[in-house]
Amino acid sequence: MEYSAKMLKEDALKGKTFVVTGGGSGLGKSMSTYFLELGAAVVITSRNTDKLLAVKDELETKTGGRVAAIGCDVRNYDEVENMVAESLEIFGKIDGLVNNAAGNFISPTERLSANAFDTIIDIVLKGTKNCTLALGKHWIENKETNKIVLNIVTTYAFTGSGYVVPSATAKAGVLALTRSLAIEWAKYGIRSNAIAPGPFPTEGAWNRLVPGDLKDKFDLTKKVPLKRYGNHQELANLAAYLVSDFSAYINGEVIVIDGGEWLKGAGQFNLLEQIPESMWDRVEMTIRSKNKKE
Rounded Cα distance, 15 and 24, in Å: 22
DSSP-based three-state secondary structure for 70:
strand
Alpha-carbon radius of gyration of the chain: 21
Instruction: Please pick, from the candidates 209, 224, 238, 256, the single residue that binds ligand HXC as defined by CB under 6 A.
Output: 209
Q: Where are the alpha helices (DSSP H) in 185-225?
A: 203-209, 214-217
Rounded Cα distance, 208 and 103, in Å: 9
Residue 30 contacts by C-beta under 8 Å, 6 or more apart in sequence? Answer: 232, 233, 235, 236
193 binds ligand NAP (CB under 6 A): no
**Segment interacting with ligand NAP, rule: CB under 6 A, options 11-19, 43-51, 61-69, 85-93:** 43-51
229 binds ligand HXC (CB under 6 A): no
108 binds ligand HXC (CB under 6 A): no
Judged by CB, which is closer to ligand NAP: 95, or 234?
Answer: 234
Q: Is 77 noted as a catalytic residue in this protein? A: no
When CB distances are held under 5 to 8 angstroms depending on the partner's kind, the choice from ligand NAP, ligand HXC, none that residue 107 binds is ligand HXC
Pick from 63, 67, 59, 60: nearest CA to 91: 67
Would the CA dihedral through 72, 132, 29, 65 be positive or negative? Answer: negative
- Binding residues for ligand NAP, rule: CB under 6 A, are 21-22, 24-28, 46-48, 51, 73-75, 100-103, 123, 127, 152, 154, 197, 199-200, 202, 204-205
Residues with active-site annotation: 156
Interacting residue ranges for ligand HXC, rule: CB under 6 A: 102-105, 107, 112-113, 115-116, 119, 154, 167, 199, 204-205, 208-209
